[in-house]
Amino acid sequence: MSPFAKNLRTAVCSLGEERLIQAIRRWLGSASPQAPFGIGDDCAVLPASRGPQLITVDPVIYGRHFDDAVPARAVGAKLLKRNLSDLAAMGGRPTAAVLALTLDRRTTLAWLEGFYRGLAAAARQYRVPIVGGDVAQADGVVSASLTLLGEATGPRVPNRRGARVGDWIYVTGRLGGSLRLGHHFRFTPRLAEGAWLAARKELRAMMDVSDGLAKDLHALTPPNAEAALEPEKIPCRRGADWRAALTDGEDYELAFVIAKNADRDALQRDWRRAFPRTPLTCLGRFVRRGELPASAPRLDELHGYEHLR
């Protein structure tokens, strides 16, 4: 669905700011709480946090993260889910979100309604109140940036550092072909899995896979080490080979590291009981730099998605 109107009477500029904000509140419905705890003041007011807080921000931009082929509802849902995937990687649960929208004045009300209704449906599903935001205008632009607040689900907040030589590399779900298969807007963020893993003492480090594992794994790799993956073990989505699985991107799966001496059978058994429908795969382990087996892919020579090139 194209966001741009041919007839300006169907565009946001026909409404004006005040009626647009009223429409946004209607489209968000119960996903947006009433003021003073939501839209309509200079700031939204949130209750005090129960512990350490998590915050992340990610956009969706027309021509970059979506195009005319993607339904507007899917764009709105994807925006929230991309951010939830980042929160999952830190073992968090969401508490609130604010949205900054930038629109060309020719953006259709139909596209905008679809976008907000898709966002609202996902916000209700994942219990994330949309507490505020901003709408600004810029020629030729349709973009939305969502800032997500969350909290830790337990005493520990895992991060990307902590892996050591000998540790095991795991990934949830399957990789590759996300854009072709529509996974990039149909995925389920791994919130439950992330919270479960954050509570496991054998977890050393975790992140979400969004730019392709070949690129993203770099952030989990300790200095003086390399990731020795076994290509035949890489769980590929339909129609993707292991190269595609490592480089296509938009997977929104969790990659994580398990201590080398951990009881991995127990981990995998417990996982299957907790998440019988989410594949869990050990892809290999970290080895000392220079000791990469001949069979392991050279990740530096594969290119995940690189921004701003």
Binders of its own copies among residues 41 to 60 (CB under 8 A) are 41-59
Residue 207's alpha-carbon distances to 72, 87, 105, in angstroms, are 28, 9, 38
Does the footprint of its own copies cover residue 173 (CB under 8 A)?
Answer: no
Binding status of residue 179 toward its own copies by CB under 8 A:
no
**Contact call for residue 90 and its own copies (CB under 8 A):** yes
Q: Which of residues 193-212 bind its own copies (CB under 8 A)?
A: 207-208
Q: Quote the least distance from Cβ 37 to its own copies, whole Å.
A: 9
**Residue (of 174, 36, 161, 144) closest to 90 by Cα position:** 161
CB of 142 to its own copies, least distance (A): 10
Measured from the CB atom, the residue of 55 and 274 that comes closer to its own copies is: 55
CB-nearer residue toward its own copies: 74 or 207: 207
Angle at 40 between CA 34 and CA 44, to 5 degrees: 75
Measured from the CB atom, the residue of 150 and 297 that comes closer to its own copies is 150
Nearer to its own copies, 28 or 44 (CB): 44
Tokens 């594949």, located at residue? 279
Residue 67 and residue 113 in contact, taking contact as beta carbons nearer than 8 Å? no
The only residue of 20, 77, 198, 240 in contact with its own copies, by rule CB under 8 A: 20
Q: How far is the CB of 201 from its own copies (least distance, A)?
A: 18
End-to-end C-alpha distance for the chain, whole angstroms: 28
Q: Determine, following the binding rule CB under 8 A, whether residue 249 of this chain makes contact with its own copies.
A: no
Residue 154, φ and ψ in degrees, nearest 5? -155, -175
Site string for its own copies, 119-138 (x = CB under 8 A): ------------xxxxxxxx
Where does this chain touch its own copies (CB under 8 A) — which range of 86-94, 184-192, 234-242, 280-288?
86-94
Which DSSP helix (H) or strand (E) runs through 259? none
Q: Cα separation of 44 and 36, whole Å? A: 7
Stretch of 23-31, 40-48, 195-203, 268-276 lying at the interface with its own copies (CB under 8 A):
40-48
Distance CA 24, CA 277 (A): 36
Under rule CB under 8 A, residue 253 binds its own copies = no
According to DSSP, residue 279 is labeled -
Among 64, 233, 238, 272, binds its own copies (CB under 8 A): 64
How far is CA 103 from each of CA 227, 238, 260, rounded to the nearest angstrom?
42, 36, 50
- 1 or 157: whose CB is closer to its own copies? 157
Residue in this structure with the two tokens 């991060």, named with its chain if needed: 159
Q: What are the structure tokens assigned to 63, written together?
A: 């021509």
Backbone φ/ψ region at 187: left (φ over 0), alpha (ψ -120 to 50), beta: beta
Q: Which of residues 135-164 bind its own copies (CB under 8 A)?
A: 135-141, 143, 145, 147, 149-150, 157, 159-161
Nearest-angstrom CA–CA distance, 212 and 299: 11
Mark the segment that binds its own copies (CB under 8 A) among 25-33, 37-45, 116-124, 168-176. Answer: 37-45
